Amino acid sequence: MRNIPITIGAMVLLAACGVSTQQEVQMGQQEAQQVSAQLPMVQDAVIENYVNALGQRIASRTSRADLQWQFQVVNSDMVNAFALPGGFIYINRGVLERASNMSEVAGVVGHEIEHVVRRHSVKQMENAQGANVGVGILCALTGACQSGAAQAAINIGGTAVFAKFSRTDEIQADEGGFNNVMRAGISPRGMYTFFQKLLAEEQSSGGGGATAGWFADHPGTQDRLADIQRMLSQVPASELNGLQSNDSGFATMKARLARLGPAPKVQGQ
Ligand SMILES: [Zn+2]
């Protein structure tokens, strides 16, 4: 397989013909190569394994359990997470640092998984006539590009499959994510408490803080919280209380996180 980005021309062709699962996975793999070349990843086996095991547990109970799901932790303090086509999920360190229990991490992971289950990137690409989505967006997303050169490389190599999702997509990802988490035996309350926490931080920081990227990429958080609350109210308390909120690995993961050196300096901060 040639290690070159898909060109805009190829994208238009793909958009015209529809994207098969195999093509989706290939695009995701190419994007993932770029991501690992350009963004710093947390290199700690305990943290990586924790997030990967949690992700596999949730993804394996979805309709796309057959994908080769991969979960990685980006070494960035910014609160964000993103999904590439084909099942490549990235959770920023800033998410883990703010989580109070396993179910809060699961809420974010379950949400990103649902973007892949519903093929949101693929649909967006099919609808976007191949242009002007996602080029160079990785830097904006994580704020973790370390040099102008890296940013230029991402711009040049931008495969345009990586785009912002609509409010409708976000609501679908919440609702599907909610169910994904529950199917894995995990309490969906963590999704609510975590989004609530992010909203509080966003409001107290006046919009320019570490959560800014999350709110730019996940529009409508306030409405979405109401939607999640509605879903929570429909699950019997006895069922909710029987679901898992935490595990012993979470505290171990947090202890490792606390021992990591500072995240790489972010441009413009
Ligand atoms: Zn989303």
Supply the pLDDT for residue 188.
Answer: 98
Determine the distance separating the centroid of ligand 1 and the alpha carbon of 170, expressed in angstroms.
5
Give 88's Cβ-side CA count (13 Å radius).
20
Determine the distance separating the centroid of ligand 1 and the alpha carbon of 89, expressed in angstroms.
11
Determine the distance separating the centroid of ligand 1 and the alpha carbon of 138, expressed in angstroms.
15
Give per-residue pLDDT as tens, 56-109: 999 999 999 999 999 999 999 999 999 999 999 999 999 999 999 999 999 999
Determine the distance separating the centroid of ligand 1 and the alpha carbon of 57, expressed in angstroms.
19
Determine the distance separating the centroid of ligand 1 and the alpha carbon of 2, expressed in angstroms.
30
Determine the distance separating the centroid of ligand 1 and the alpha carbon of 49, expressed in angstroms.
23
Determine the distance separating the centroid of ligand 1 and the alpha carbon of 255, expressed in angstroms.
28
220's enclosing H/E stretch is none
Query: If 0-12 CB within 10 Å is exposed, 13-18 middle and 19+ buried, where does residue 122 land?
Result: buried
Supply the pLDDT for residue 267.
Answer: 47
Stretches where the chain sits below pLDDT 70 are 1-17, 127-163, 266-269
Q: Which two tokens stand for residue 169?
A: 């997509």
Supply the pLDDT for residue 19.
Answer: 83
Supply the pLDDT for residue 112.
Answer: 96
Residue among 208, 215, 80, 72 nearest 144 (CA): 80
- Helices marked H in the chain — which ranges? 8-17, 21-38, 45-59, 93-98, 102-117, 120-127, 137-142, 148-157, 167-183, 189-205, 212-217, 221-233, 237-241, 248-259
Query: If 0-12 CB within 10 Å is exposed, 13-18 middle and 19+ buried, where does residue 259 land?
Result: exposed
**Domain residues of the chain, as ranges?**
8-259
How would you classify the pairing of strands 70-74 and 81-84? unpaired
